[in-house]
Amino acid sequence: MPILASLPGLNLLSSLPSNPPQNDTTSCTPSPSPPIPIPKYPPPRSRNPKTNVPRSNPALSIPHRRSNYRKPVQKGVISTDGDRCVIVGENGVSYKLPGAPFEFQYSYSETPNAEPIAIREPAYLPFAPPTMPRPWTGKAPLKKSKKNIPLFDSFNPPPPGKKGVKHVEKPGPFPFGKYPKEGKTREEILGEPLKKWEIKMLVKPLLSYNRQVNLGRDGLTHNMLGLIHSHWKRRRVCKIKCKGVPTVDMDNVCRHIEEKTGGKIIHRVGGVVYLFRGRNYNYRTRPQYPVMLWKPATPVYPKLIQEAPEGLTKAEADEFRKKGKSLLPICTLAKNGVYASLVKDVRDAFEECPLVKIDCKGLQPSDYKKIGAKLKELVPCVLLSFDDEQILMWRGRDWKSMYGDTSSTLVPVKADISSGIDNSAKSSDDSGTPDAQRVVSSPKMMSLWRRAIESNKALLLEELALCPDALLEKVEEFEGMSLAIEHSCEALVLSSEDGSSGSSSAEFKGGSYSEDENDIYSSDDIIDDEDYDDDSFAEVNPSIPLGSLPVDKIAERLRRESK
């Protein structure tokens, strides 16, 4: 610092220059370029292009399922494509192809009986076009394999122990001395009816078998036919497990399965069905069906719920719906359950109440609406409401009881034992007593009561005002009569000409049986424990005389030993 201060012409405290020097543009360097170039995006595409690319097949340009497409249709052919056509008939919308054994449908078992009034999509065939060189599988065609894979069928099974070949069951079973033969008709392919031991032999290995065909809410669909034949390629019996809506009417499902596949149902437990392919089934000569590429939209059917159903006015229907809100449901349907006993439960419920409600919480609306449509045809009944996920039904004016009498039966208190139930239909006016008591009972209870009286297991008392001793005497008398009738041994009847009453059984004196009782059974009839055989109960001839059963002899021997 002292050296800098001693320099001449240098002032350290001088101010900065007022005009800074101008920058020399020739000497400045250019600014560096950015390290990452700025991307240039293409202009946004318009969502609604003016030009549409034409499709090769018009069936691939069907409208969206949530579209408002509605086209009224009538019974008959609604669309044709050469020999292929779409038909609306009694079975709904069906598709006819040249050379097909029957008209194809998406679902064969779950088609309503009512005719459709409109369709929700254009009438196109849901199959591959005939110009397609190969069946559509959704994937590109595979290259030709270099390996020569042998093909086997049920008539030409692979030899046992061959490696790289899946298990293939031989045709049959056949009776001794018979062999498989080519069959064209269903009867020729099925062959002779199976015997019980053959059915047991075929079904027993499949009870715990997990390879099965699952039949769901759509019932027996078209593509399921080819799936069943693929199961039949390896095994003689195909296991089909049914759940959901189709199980309401299992007879209908089994009938369609046998008609469309050509097999025979040999065993059925609940919703599980075992389908036999036939003794002379050959996979090579099976009927081949085209694959349905998509599920056609369900047509529009008439409404199930009407404001004024048949036999009711609008006011009466509203009153029933109001009462149905406080009605308890008879059952609750589980999702994907088996509803084989639902029709019987509804019929039994109609015996007690004209209104029946079923709880369907957790089920899809389409499912419990289909269940209601099935109950309307099978029970039959009148549908009133689907509100709150519940099915409300009315039995209708033309309802008839399963037990014969539709009206509530009047059972008078006074009746004769010998007349049984015949006098029970008389009213209080006919009996002459104006204040006779009447009991109102259901038809089902009346049938059980009539059966009990006819079999001498029940008693109609003549008088109600009985003292305890008189009531006990009547009960003991009736008990003796019923025991005498139900006893399996023949009663010994003794008659005398001097007018003394005969005895229908051995006399009971002093708490022990008289000596005359020994005359009924001989000593040969009494058997010991060593002579008793457990197989004596295996087969019992219904024509054997009374009192000769092994149980009667054992009871007699025990009674003698207890003296």
- SS3 state of residue 253: helix
Average pLDDT, stretch 276-300?
90
| Range among 113-127, 225-239, 436-450, 503-517 rated most confident | 225-239
Per-position DSSP letters for 211-230, written without gaps between them: --EEE-TT-SBSHHHHHHHH
Rama region for 468: left / alpha / beta (φ>0; ψ in -120 to 50; rest): alpha
Q: Which helix (H) or strand (E) holds 555?
A: helix 550-561
Angle, in degrees to the nearest 10, between helices 342-350 and 365-378: 60
- Tallying the residues shown for the chain, one arrives at 563
**Architecture in CATH of 303-394:** 2-Layer Sandwich (3.30)
CB 126 within 8 A of CB 82: no
CA 94/CA 17 separation, integer angstroms: 101
The whole-number pLDDT of residue 472 equals 73
For residue 303, list its beta bridge partners: none
CB 356 within 8 A of CB 393: yes
Which of 3.30.70.1290, 1.10.10.10, 3.30.110.60, 3.30.1050.10 is the CATH number of 186-289? 3.30.110.60
The whole-number pLDDT of residue 387 equals 92
Express each pLDDT in 73-107 by its tens digit: 888 898 888 889 999 988 889 999 998 999 999 99
CA 9/CA 212 separation, integer angstroms: 111
CA 129/CA 132 separation, integer angstroms: 6
CA 517/CA 503 separation, integer angstroms: 12
Q: What distances in angstroms separate CA 169 from CA 159, 194, 236, 279, one per listed residue? A: 11, 17, 7, 11
263 vs 27, higher pLDDT: 263
The pLDDT mean for the chain works out to 75
For CA atoms 437, 438, 439, 445, the dihedral sign is positive
Model pTM above 0.85: no
- Comparing CA positions, the residue from 400, 385, 378, 367 lying closest to residue 309 is 385
- Comparing CA positions, the residue from 389, 340, 400 lying closest to residue 364 is 389
CA 211/CA 205 separation, integer angstroms: 12
- SS3 state of residue 362: coil
CB 372 within 8 A of CB 386: yes
For residue 394, list its beta bridge partners: 355, 382
Express each pLDDT in 217-246 by its tens digit: 999 999 999 999 999 988 999 999 999 999
CA 246/CA 308 separation, integer angstroms: 29
Q: Which helix (H) or strand (E) holds 202?
A: helix 196-203
Average pLDDT, stretch 337-350?
93
Express each pLDDT in 408-418 by its tens digit: 433 333 333 33
3-class SS shares of the chain: helix, strand, coil, % to 5: 25, 15, 60
Q: Which two tokens stand for residue 545?
A: 């005389």
Is the pLDDT at 392 greater than 50, yes or no? yes
CA 156/CA 169 separation, integer angstroms: 10
CA 353/CA 355 separation, integer angstroms: 5
Q: Where in the chain is the domain with CATH 3.30.110.60?
A: 186-289, 303-394
CA 360/CA 332 separation, integer angstroms: 6
Q: CA neighbours within 13 Å on the CB side: how many for 424?
A: 22
Average pLDDT, stretch 143-153?
70
Q: How many of the other CB atoms lie within 10 Å of CB of 362?
A: 13
CB 383 within 8 A of CB 324: no
The whole-number pLDDT of residue 533 equals 45
Pinpoint the alpha helices (H) of 334-408.
342-350, 365-378
The whole-number pLDDT of residue 155 equals 76
CB 83 within 8 A of CB 100: no
The whole-number pLDDT of residue 162 equals 76
Q: Residue 461: is it exposed, middle or buried by C-beta count within 10 angstroms (0-12/13-18/19+)?
A: middle
CA 172/CA 80 separation, integer angstroms: 43
CB 448 within 8 A of CB 351: no
CB 212 within 8 A of CB 253: no
Q: Which helix (H) or strand (E) holds 256?
A: helix 250-261
The whole-number pLDDT of residue 535 equals 44
CA 557/CA 46 separation, integer angstroms: 102
Q: Which two tokens stand for residue 422?
A: 């015949």
Pinpoint the alpha helices (H) of 435-486.
443-454, 468-486
> pLDDT category, 523, cuts 50, 70, 90?
very low
Is the pLDDT at 498 greater than 50, yes or no? no
Amino acid at 192: E
Express each pLDDT in 306-333 by its tens digit: 888 887 889 999 999 999 999 999 999 9
CB 343 within 8 A of CB 371: no
- Find where tokens 């029946």 sit: 356
Amino acid at 421: I
